[in-house]
Structures are given as structure tokens and as C-alpha cells.
Amino acid sequence: MSSLLQERVKCASLLKKIVKDARELVPLFKHGDYIGMSGFTGVGYPKVVPQALADHVEKNQLQGQLKFNLFVGASLGAEVEDRWAKLDMIDRRYPHQVGKNIQKGINEGRIRFSDQHLSMFPQNLAYGFYTREASNQKSPINYAIIEATEIKEDGTLILAASVGATPEILQKADKIIIEVNTALPSFDGIHDIYEVADPPHRKPFLIEKVQDRIGTPGLKIDMSKVIAVVESNRPDNTGGNTPEDETSKQIARNLTEFLMTEVDAKRLPKELLPLQSGIGNIANAVISGMVESPFQNLTVFTEVLQDCFLNLFEAGKLDFASATSVRLSNQGFDKFYADWENYKKKIVLRPQSISNAPELIRRLGVIAMNTPVEIDIYGHANSTMVNGSRMINGLGGSGDFLRNGKLSIMHTPSVRPSKNDPLGITCIVPMVTHVDHTEHDLDVFVTEYGYADMRGLCPRDRARLVIEKCAHPEYRPILLDYYETCLKKCLKAGSAHEPHDLSVVFKMYQNLHENGTMRINKWW
Amino acid sequence: MSSLLQERVKCASLLKKIVKDARELVPLFKHGDYIGMSGFTGVGYPKVVPQALADHVEKNQLQGQLKFNLFVGASLGAEVEDRWAKLDMIDRRYPHQVGKNIQKGINEGRIRFSDQHLSMFPQNLAYGFYTREASNQKSPINYAIIEATEIKEDGTLILAASVGATPEILQKADKIIIEVNTALPSFDGIHDIYEVADPPHRKPFLIEKVQDRIGTPGLKIDMSKVIAVVESNRPDNTGGNTPEDETSKQIARNLTEFLMTEVDAKRLPKELLPLQSGIGNIANAVISGMVESPFQNLTVFTEVLQDCFLNLFEAGKLDFASATSVRLSNQGFDKFYADWENYKKKIVLRPQSISNAPELIRRLGVIAMNTPVEIDIYGHANSTMVNGSRMINGLGGSGDFLRNGKLSIMHTPSVRPSKNDPLGITCIVPMVTHVDHTEHDLDVFVTEYGYADMRGLCPRDRARLVIEKCAHPEYRPILLDYYETCLKKCLKAGSAHEPHDLSVVFKMYQNLHENGTMRINKWW
């Protein structure tokens, strides 16, 4: 046993459960098992045991013969999740995923993926909703494999860079395997672990400010369930950041302009309200743009902290951030660990049942900002699927935040390139091909051309505004033609609340498929 | 002044503001005014002043020349809302409506209707989101017209059969007109009025059981804003109940069977969890079906109480009900008033910001049950629009409850008749023409043929189940043909997460339009 491991595992009875070689655990796992893992947005996930399993499958050519139902708060690192998918080791997957091979598996019909709001996943798991066929078992999850950075004297776990659904996964697991990561510092003090009771025993979450704590730094577990403690010395595999480009910077400027208008009109306080921001280059640009903005004393209530938030801390603009994971680049993690004592006071990591709780998002009045695949002229958004069929990553927490935030903002470039047209794909369409967020949920759309403030407008007024303010100039006449003609037809038919013609509404996609561009010459 | 009115208006300074003839108030109102009214699902709305205004418009042929922006918690009685619509007195309307003429106005493009989640409407109103163009005014609502059943010595209002958005409307109003309804008994003691603060000052709603109270029976107002007190002696105009038919009874039986399965599997306690139920004959049948069920000590956390809930009380099955309105038939109101002292202890009426709060619906683990226009094979639901364009009533609180309930159930007949085919319209379609509730929100679909429990299933598994368990036998092969063929195509294209072919997906609607039935012979 390494001296580092001994230092981190302070509980005598768990010290006895140390397994030196993860390969010893491989025979435990059976085809069809239900496996829960820690992890969220590619941090805080177990790295050794899942890879030992993958090695075993690869070496013995067991592809498709050792498949699991995989439960994780959100996504894992690619070397686990994507490799498992490549080796055909995943049957069901809940509630989110990232990776080329797992997407391939889902879209080729091999992986059964259920895309869930991240706030709901832990409670639905605890309710037994996902394991109904296993309801005669006492513990529907056969194995929980959890990354920790320390085990206290009493067996309490100090988790790593994410909390996610780990509390619920451990509650529902029959057997627990703990990976203690000695390549990371102990994260003791940054977590606020609160275990959510099932109705009718659930209590209010007594958080009124982003920095409020309602739980404990460590996670208590049933030690009798622990079957192994394994050392891990592999860092989180997060890679670099998506670079900001001129388009995303312009989107960020338009969004900042909108927020300043809201402050001027006294609909927002000058320090704004807690910010939520998704992942990606626009989100990065938006948060980075705040560094140059006049805003001060900002706060964050979000699910993932990326590098851009560190910049905001460094610029002295950000007072406090609450999330369920810290997903930094390697360079970002170096900065974070070097200034650990400082960041520990300014960041809290909560379970995703708390970080994404509708109760808290609405109470705090969060400003929710996310990037969709496409939006439509009446205010719906597609966050998950291409052509209504091909899954990308899943909706994550976007629905939790956009439904409940005080302001629900979606930002996207107005166009994306297709294979043979740099303006081939318009992100503003007549009707999105999959609805993840409805017209009842969204307030403001932002593109590099401007923003459409749809609050309180009827669909007809929204359509004109979205086309005029957000669509790419090349697509404005095309979209306006659709709208104006549908309006005429629907006025005649007495159905003009939200004018559509279902017989042509998806024509642009057909044109993209056939001619490589959504720029169509005529609708009818 | 009637002696009845004197008895009800106990506040000396407001007694002085009594206006005998509502017609005196008519000249106050100007074209373009923002008007807020009390009322929710056709109860608790003002009946005298709005009708005096309508009489004025009708008599002087001012149709279209005296139009208002109308803010009400939900729907009003037909003699106000629908008559106003008929007389072209409504420009904007938020966030819900009921009535043939108002729907006509919306769908003919004369009324600008913004369809909002009922939990969000009061806060968005308070935030100033709907009155941005009037943000330079101190009070964006020019007149609030409110029905009360009593005014206390200190000016506190005792509201009538609904609370709705009245607290927020009064907060934001410049001038207040109170109609004291002496045809109703005083509702003193049934309300729990809690005023919700805006972020960052909002507090947790400390309700842990349906019967918990966090507010006061009366609503405090700024008396200096009151410009008139008017007597009303007109009852709520609710009409009768939609009768239950055999289909709705069978749906109710299937739903009860599902709930019993959940109790057996210990995923629900034997007294269930608080019930929410929408309006309509299926909802009636479901709640009435509970009378015959083995369930005991039920509780209700919903937005509207209908007659069926009284039956459940009378049968000794229901312990307590929380709502924002009591919408009974005339006969139901007679029973309710006759047993007032008893019902007052078993019912609480809250503001809709509380009755529909995501925070509470999720904490209490509500069982949400609502009827859609149509549902699709992948688990989306359309609650609001025909053909994606023609508005019916709006989504009401369905999104509040279905997103946040522990169980989210939609019940619908499998088919409806078209003009020339009794099975002409299938309520289970490949893709709904408007999405109000997404696949991420809904758990169970119920029709007269059975129920599809979709929890944790991937879209492909959901599709087969929904077709098999819920679709009408006539439509099963048609839907299965769509699904199977799309699956094949999408497997080939690597886009089979949720198989669709956008070029034919709405073909059934075209067939309905052209041939009067959705029963099509072939898709391709």
C-alpha cells in the first residue's frame, strides 16, 4: 500500500478492504448488472476499476457479452464511458452522456439511453423508477463505484471534483467499491452533502443565498456495504476548453447589453442575480465577457464550474459560486489546487438534486443561459437532437434552469456551416425538430445579430421579433416568407394563434439532406 | 346601501368609497389600459364593473375602440371574458382563457394571447416582464378589479372562491376597485394568503403537508389605492359538470390499476401521495373512481377543486385538499355552503404562486394527472393547440404539475371522432404538432385500452409500449408501420435514438384535412 493511500484512508476497518490490483474485482461483475458510478461532466468519476473491466472485455473479446446498465449523475471521462461504449459494454444509460462512441452506440440502437432532467435523475433512481424489473431486489444497484479523495476515521467519504448523484447511488447500492484518488489533493471542506428524503418526508431546502450550507463536508456511508477500496492515481481527463471565436464574443456582448438594459429598468439588481451557464464556447465567452463588464459582486448558482469562472474570480468580479462539479482544464486545475485555501471559501459543491433543484433556482431567481441545437420563431428550443432523431449529449440541467430561472436565455450562432455551404444550417427555424424547452419556458434568444426579448409576447409577435433580431440576414426573407404565408392561411382558417403549415414546416431539412443547404427557394 | 353590504364592509374608510352604480366608473377606463382582475377557472372574478364596461361598449358601438390588456390568474366567467372578447375589448390576454369567443379572437389574430405556466404568471407580472413598455409608470396595472366576500375593520380583504394571482395584481395596481359579493357567504377562514417576495429576498415556502398554513386568512391592501367599493350579488357562473362516459370510466379504472401496482411495489404509500387533477370528464371520472377504490386518507394538492372532490370528501376517503380555487357546479356550491364549517377545516385556498409552486409539488411528491389534446409515441404531449396552430385554452398549470410531480400521468381517450369518421382522430400520433410537455417530463400515458409506464425507457422502447398499450387497435398497425420503417431508415443512417422521418411525420393531419380521417393507407 502506498504511503499516500494510507494517509488518505483514515478509517481502520476500510483500510482492511484495500485491494491492490483492481483486476481482482473483475470476476464480480456479471452481464446485466446495474452499476452506479460517481462523476459529473467528466470529473470525479472512478478511473481504475472501470478500466480494468474494459481491459478484461477487450483482452478476452467479450464485446456485447458483458453489458451493464449504467447510472451516473451526468457524463464520465472518455476513457471510461466512451471506451465502454466502444467495447459494447453499455445496455441502458441514464441520464446524460458525452463521447463519440457512446453517441454512435445510442444512434445505432445498441445503447438504450434515457435522457432525463439532471435534477430528477437522483430522485427517480431513489424512487426505484429505473429499476422496476429489479424491484424484488433489496438494492437495485448491484455495484456502486465511487471516487473519493479521502476517507475519514469514521468512514465518511470526502468526494472529489463532483458530487452529482453519488449520495443516491450509494443509498441504493448493494455493494460499494471506493477508489481513493491520491493524484488529487483531498477536497475536504468544499462539499455540502445533503441527503434528500423521499416524499412525504422531504423537507424544504433551506438555502436563501448561494453560499448557504445545509449539509456536511463528508458523505456518510453504510460501511458494511464496502467490498473494496482501490487506489487511483489518475487525474480527471478533461482536456482543453473550446476556444471563443468572434461570433461567440459578439453573442456575449449582445447578452451583456440585454442584462444592462434589465438593470437600468430595475428588473435586475446591479449585482445581477445568481448566474447559471452551460458548457461550450459561447458560455465561456459570456462568462469571460463579464470580466470586462461593469457588473460587480456577481454570484453563480450553476451545475458546472469551468475555467472561465476562475477568470471571473481572479478579476475580483465573482463573490461566490455554487455547483455540483468543478470541470477545469489541466491548467485550470493547477491554478485551482495552487490556490485551494482561497477557492475552498468561495466555492461549494452540492449534490445535483440541490444544485439543480427547481425550488432553489426559482427562489434565488437564477439567470439561466444555455446553448441549443436550434430554436424556432415561436420560442421553442431543441437542445438534444439533430433532425428530431439523432441524439447528441442529452439535455443535462438545461430544463431545470430554463424552466425555473427568473430569466431564461438561450444563445446560439445564427447559422452553422453544412458540408457545402458555410451558411448551410440556420439555427433559427420555423419549428424545431425536437422540443426540449417550450415557448412557455423561454424569455430571450441571443445570436451574434442581436437579442429577441419575447417576454409576454404572443406567438405572432415573437415570430417577427425573432426573425428580425436573431436570424442570419440570408435566412430572414426565407423565414419571413414562411411566417407571412402561414399567417395568411391560418387567419383564413381561424387558426392563427401560432401560424404553421405542417405540410412544409420541415422542408428546409429535406433541402439540407438533398442539396446540402437549408437556404430554400420556395416553401410552396 | 344594502344592509347586507354594510354587514360585509366593516372598514369605515372603505365604506365611504361605496359606489352605488357601477356605470359611474365606466368613464375612468381608457383604451389601452392594463387591467388586472381576480378570478381563476371561472370563480372569484368581478361580475359587475366588467359587465358595466361591456354594456357601455355594446350600447355605444365601441367595439375595437376600447381594448384592454387583461391580466387574470386564469380564466374568468364567460359573461365577462367571453363577452369582452365578443365585443373586441381585449388586446393582450395573459395567461389562460376559456370561452368560444375569446378563442375565436385569439385564432383570428385579434387577441394577443400569451400562454404561460400558471405558477410563473404572478411572479413575471410582479417582475414587470409583461409591462415593459409601461416600465416608466410606477404601477404598470392601471386598475385592479377584485371580488371579495368581506372587508375587515382594518381594510383586509376576504376573497371569494379563488385566490389566483390577486395578491400580485393588487401589489402592482395603481388603483383598486373592490366588488363585495353579497350573494355568497363570507369565505373568511378558508384562504391562506402568503405574499411571495422577489429574489434575492424570497424565502422558502415552509409547507411540508398539504394542510400546512404559512399566511393569513385575509389579504392586506394599500387602502389609499382603493377608488371604489361596489356591491355584487351575482353568483359564480360555473354551469354543470362534463358528464363521465364509459371511456372515461375505463381510463379511470386503468389509472387506478396502475396506482395499485405502485402501492404493491412500495413505490407509493398506501394512502398515495397528494393528488393533482385537471378539469374535464376524465379527471372527474378518475377522482370519482377513487370513491370505489381501496385507497384511504387521501390528500389533494391541486389548483382547482371540482364537484368530484366533494364526493370524495363525502365518501370519507379524502382528508384534506389544497387548491387555489373551488369551482363547483351550482348544486355543488349549495352543498359546499351548507356544510361550510366542515369544509373550511378540510380545504385551504392559496395563491397560485403557492398552489402551483414547483418547490411544493416536488417536495410533496404530487401525483399529477392531466388530459392532453394528443400524445406521441415517444412521450411528448400537446396540451394546447390543434394542428400546431389553433389555440384551445392554454396549458394552465399542467406544466407546473407534470414537470414536478413524483408521478406525471396523462390520460386521454385513444381516439376522437372527426366529422365523417367516429375513429377519425387518433390521440396517439408519431409526433405531436405542438409540444407543451416533453419526453423528459412524462411518466405514464393512460387510455381506455391500458397504460404505458415509460419511466426510464429509451424512446425506442417507449414507442412500442405506447402503441401496444394505449393506441386504438385501428391505429396500432398504422403507428407501428411508421415506427418500424423509421427505425430501419434511421438505423441505416445512424440516427435511431428517436426514429422519425420528417418528410411524412405529419401526414395523418393532411389526410384528416383532405379525407376527414387520420386513418391513412400508407406513409410512403
Considering only the C-alpha atoms of chain A, give the largest distance between any 2 of them, rounded to a whole number of Å. Answer: 80
The predicted structure's pLDDT at residue A212: 98
Evaluated on CA atoms B391, B392, B394, B395, the torsion sign reads: negative
Strands (DSSP E) found in B250-361:
275-277, 298-301, 304-305, 318-323, 325-326, 347-349
- Output the CA torsion sign for A128, A134, A136, A142: negative
With beta carbons less than 8 A apart as the criterion, state whether A344 and A189 touch: yes
In tens, the pLDDT along B65-83 reads 999 999 999 999 999 999 9
Alpha carbon distance A498, A458 (integer Å)? 8
The reported pLDDT for the residue numbered A136 is 63
SS3 at position A521: coil
Specify the pLDDT at position A300. 98
B 185-214 near A (Cβ less than 8 A): 198-200, 202-206, 208-209
The residue assigned the cell 399567417 is A487
Measured distance CA(A226)–CA(A143) in Å, rounded: 10
Amino acid (one-letter) located at B284: N
Q: What is the CA radius of gyration of chain A?
A: 24
Calpha distance B406→B403 (Å, rounded): 9
- SS3 labels along B178-236: EEEECCCCCCCCCECECCCCCCCCCCCCCCCCCCCCCCECCECCCHHHEEEEEEECCCC
Is B115 close to A439, i.e. CB distance below 8 A? yes
- Report residue B476 as a C-alpha cell: 396500432
- Return the axis-axis angle of helices B307-314 and B330-338, rounded to nearest 10°: 40
Distance from CA of A495 to the nearest CA of B (A): 4
Which H/E stretch holds residue A35? Answer: strand A34-37
- What residues 13-52 of chain B have any CB closer than 8 A to a CB of chain A? none
- DSSP code for A434: S
State the DSSP H helix or E strand holding residue A285, giving kind and residue range, or none if neither. helix A281-292
| Minimum-distance CB partner of B107 among A130, A494, A503 | A494
Residues of chain B contacting residue A436, judged by C-beta atoms under 8 Å apart: 438, 440
Q: Of A362, A435, A495, which has the smallest distance from its Cβ to B389's Cβ?
A: A495
Q: Of the candidates A240, A234, A210, A225, which has an alpha carbon nearest to the alpha carbon of residue A178?
A: A225
| A367 interface with B at CB cutoff 8 Å | no
Alpha-carbon gap, residue B393 to B408, rounded angstroms? 20
DSSP B29: -
Strands A381-382 and A374-376: antiparallel
Q: Is B303 a catalytic residue?
A: yes
Question: Where are the extended beta strands (E) located within A313-443?
Answer: 318-323, 325-326, 347-349, 367-370, 374-376, 381-382, 385-386, 390-391, 407-411, 415-418, 421-426, 428-429
Residue A508's alpha-carbon distances to A482, A518, B39, in angstroms, are 11, 5, 44
The answer to whether the CB of A179 falls within 8 A of the CB of A50 is: no
Strand partners, B242: none
Q: Which position has the grid cell 474494459?
A: A54
Gyration radius of chain B over CA positions: 24
pLDDT of residue B238: 87
Please compute, for residue B14, the number of CA atoms within 13 A of its CA located in the half-sphere on the CB side: 30
Q: Report the pLDDT value the prediction gives residue A198, as an integer from 0 to 100.
A: 97
Burial group, residue A404, by CB count within 10 angstroms (0-12, 13-18, 19+): buried
- Annotated catalytic sites of A, by residue? 303
For A44, which DSSP code?
S
| ipTM (interface predicted TM) | 0.97
Q: Which residues contact B302 (CB under 8 A, 6 or more apart)?
A: B274, B275, B276, B277, B321, B322, B323, B355, B401
Beta B367-370 vs B407-411: how paired, if at all?
parallel
Is residue A70 within 8 Å of residue A84, measured between CB atoms? yes
Determine the straight-line distance between the first and last CA of chain B, rounded to whole angstroms.
73
Backbone torsions φ then ψ of A333, nearest 5 degrees: -60, -40
Grid cell digits, residue A156: 465518511
Alpha-carbon gap, residue B47 to B232, rounded angstroms = 7
Query: According to DSSP H, which parts of B328-391 are helical?
Result: 330-338, 340-346, 352-355, 358-364
Distance CA A114, CA A136 (A): 22
- Give the residues of chain B that fall short of pLDDT 70: 135-137
The residue with cell 420541415 is: A506
- Best to test chain B binding among A501, A502, A511 (most B CBs inside 10 Å): A502
Burial class (CB in 10 A: 0-12, 13-18, 19+), B461: middle
C-alpha cell read off for B161: 372562491
Residue A252 Cα, gap to closest chain B Cα (Å): 22
Residue type, A474: E
Distance from CA of B329 to the nearest CA of A (A): 31
Strand B415-416 relative to strand B425-426: parallel, antiparallel, unpaired?
A: antiparallel
Cβ-contact A280, A298 below 8 angstroms: no
Burial zone of A484 (CB within 10 Å; 0-12 exposed, 13-18 middle, 19+ buried): middle
A487 contacts A394 by C-beta, under 8 angstroms: no
Instruction: Determine the residue among A438, A464, A488 to mutate to test chain B binding: the one whose Cβ has the most chain B Cβ atoms within 10 Å.
Output: A438
For residue B430, what pLDDT is reported? Answer: 98
A6 contact B CB<8A: no
Q: How do residues A165-180 score in pLDDT, each as one tens digit?
A: 999 999 999 999 999 9
Strands B444-447, B407-411: parallel, antiparallel or unpaired by DSSP?
A: parallel
* A114 residue type, one letter: S
Best interface-test mutation with B: which of A320, A482, A498, A504 has the largest number of B CBs within 10 A? Answer: A498
Please tell me the distance from the alpha carbon of residue A182 to that of residue A169, in angstroms, as a whole number. 23
Strand partners, B164: B351
- List CB contacts of B523: < 8 A, sequence separation 6 or more: B481, B482, B485, B501, B504, B507
First-to-last C-alpha distance (Å) of chain A: 73
Smallest Cβ–Cβ distance between B104 and the set A107, A387, A494 belongs to: A494
Per-residue DSSP letter, A244: P
* B440:A436 CB<8 A: yes
Grid cell locating A166: 453519488
Strand pairing of A428-429 and A444-447?
Answer: unpaired
Of B382, B498, B480, the residue nearest B433 (C-alpha): B382
Q: Give the residue ranges of chain A where pLDDT is below 70.
A: 135-137
Quote the CA–CA distance of A275 and A287 in Å, as a whole number.
Answer: 9
Q: Do B391 and A498 touch (CB under 8 A)?
A: yes
Alpha helices of A135-205 — where are they, by DSSP H? 166-172
